[in-house]
Structure 1
């Protein structure tokens, strides 16, 4: 489909959506009349936390009400998700999610339902690539060199990730599968210890966000070989993508989005989503997130819902092919 055709299709879908019952963008009367909470399932300082705090600050100014970021870390975001799913569907408790939200379903699927079953998608905030990095002692200069070495020595190379079934794990598993190589996965409890052991040579390689990895790459403690996104990172523009080197069309990475509890009135979901898109398109917000290696998306509820369904299908297939488990 040409770019023009795609644009026409998007416009047609948007027009149709606005004509459907309940699709009004009219503001919910008096919302918000009290503080709003964004629950984040990871500790302060991570991608989801940074994106949520950036949005919360601007929403608070727009709404003239406090917007509180509530970190409830644990179980790859499941603790926070369970809390929000049980919260009143009134727009005052929102959930910030990352790919784990759909990956967990692929690893530990429920009998029925979808990643949207307990929630109403509001907006995808942004995306960030992962950097494929090696300890300099591995002796490779490019991602092509790494693939060639892995083919010569099956299961000899080790790669560290923040945990089993993390996006880091699945991205490398997908890369390995599509290039026909085998490596040994070493899961850690968090990105920091995985990074430190790659620097120390305990493991051969790891993956991390550009913002997390920048200082180590610039100091020479780790060598960046490629980024997993479809385009190069603004923080490290000299590093090629996997797609332009060894696997045309390859794209994977981290993303952050916002959900509301299922049953939240459609007009309210749309109002919150529209306000999020309004603040996300501010140049100051874009600049702040780009400094963290995050590209702003700011999608509609329909776009985010479709994206989540596509992610679940995609990573469920990777999980099955690679035999990934949460343990």
Structure 2
């Protein structure tokens, strides 16, 4: 091959390579050129919805574009997750999700998406502590009393959760199996709705994140039976844990995380992660999320991915050791 032909071939190859990389580079440099949408499973006005909206406001400030929150409650988070899984991986449609879709669905049949392969973790916004709450008239006041009462009334106690396959659901089923009790699961579109039914007396007990229940508990509208943990919670130092009545219980911590459809270009992923983390870990961001009842995390995509892998492994061990099976009920 002549030196001229060689030079021509090299130039053509270089030009082709630059052209291939150009769309990704241009996308990263331009992003975002329009509003970003976060689809969430939380009902409007719920505690989880508040956490997402706080994070979205800081994201918007840092991205220089509005970040709009779209509530698509229902199906234990499936409605929201399915819509985002089918969206373009361009950074403009994101998912604010919980273990209900990104962990529990790994172990459930009839799931239209792969929780691991179809999503790109961006950052863990916050973690939340769960509690078992009850109407003030409910006979039990702590975990040991709840177990004793349930044993005397098998199949007569209904409990609410934020949906099938949620971390609250798996906690309740684990409690029932380990304690040898039988309770009736009533899944809601959101834990906020379940809490309101407890306050009104339509539901005797429910599992809820602690943030929204603190005010009603102080006002005497409901009582907190236990925190769903293996140690006491600093915000509720006088409240016992599930282990007080179910010693072998293994807690599954709740959280709210940000995801994109799989295939998101790395530069866009880095921009979304950096601007979200910058906002929620700022002094103002931490204060607002703490006031709403959440503990800020703000980890990297790699750290979030590892955390998800570890929690999936934990849930798998719980299911195997207890013989539990997650279903649509």
Give, in whole Å, the separation in 1 of the partners of 2:42 and 2:142. 33
Give, in whole Å, the separation in 1 of the partners of 2:51 and 2:74. 18
Tell me if the contact between 1:242 and 1:250 (Cα under 8 Å) persists in the aligned partners: no
The equivalent residue for 1:106 is 107
Deviations 1:160-190 (A, max 9, x none): 2343333322221122223333323333444
- SS, match of residue 127 in structure 1: strand
Give, in whole Å, the separation in 1 of the partners of 2:152 and 2:79. 42
Give, in whole Å, the separation in 2 of the partners of 1:289 and 1:153. 39
Cα distance change on mapping 1:229 and 1:288 into 2, 3 Å:
farther
Q: CA deviation at 1:230?
A: 4.9
Give, in whole Å, the separation in 2 of the partners of 1:62 and 1:182. 49
Q: What is the CA RMSD across the aligned residues, in angstroms?
A: 2.9
Cα distance change on mapping 1:94 and 1:138 into 2, 3 Å:
closer
Cα distance change on mapping 1:296 and 1:229 into 2, 3 Å:
farther
Q: CA deviation at 1:274?
A: 2.3
Give the gaps of 5 or more residues in structure 2. 1-26
Give, in whole Å, the separation in 2 of the partners of 1:195 and 1:257. 22
1:209 and 2:243 correspond = no
1:325 and 2:315 correspond = no
Tell me if the contact between 2:142 and 2:240 (Cα under 8 Å) persists in the aligned partners: no
The equivalent residue for 1:304 is 304
- SS, match of residue 287 in structure 2: helix
The equivalent residue for 2:73 is 73
Cα distance change on mapping 1:300 and 1:249 into 2, 3 Å:
farther
Give, in whole Å, the separation in 1 of the partners of 2:280 and 2:241. 26
Deviations 1:171-211 (A, max 9, x none): 21122223333323333444345334434544432111222
Q: What is the aligned length? A: 300
- Asked which structure has the greater CA Rg, the reply is 2
- SS, match of residue 132 in structure 1: strand
Deviations 1:112-148 (A, max 9, x none): x852211111111111111112333332232122223
Give the TM-score, by structure 2 length.
0.79
Tell me if the contact between 1:35 and 1:66 (Cα under 8 Å) persists in the aligned partners: yes
The equivalent residue for 2:38 is 38
The equivalent residue for 2:21 is none
Give, in whole Å, the separation in 2 of the partners of 1:253 and 1:104. 16
Written as runs of structure 1 = structure 2, the 5 A alignment for 1:172-183 is 172-183=172-183
Could you tell which deviates more after superposition, 119-128 or 74-83? Answer: 74-83
Cα distance change on mapping 1:203 and 1:95 into 2, 3 Å:
closer
The equivalent residue for 1:282 is 282
1:256 and 2:274 correspond = no
- SS, match of residue 298 in structure 1: coil
The equivalent residue for 2:191 is 191
- SS, match of residue 322 in structure 1: coil
Could you tell which deviates more after superposition, 235-244 or 286-295? Answer: 235-244
1:94 and 2:118 correspond = no
- SS, match of residue 105 in structure 2: helix
Give the TM-score, by structure 1 length.
0.79
Give, in whole Å, the separation in 2 of the partners of 1:51 and 1:223. 23
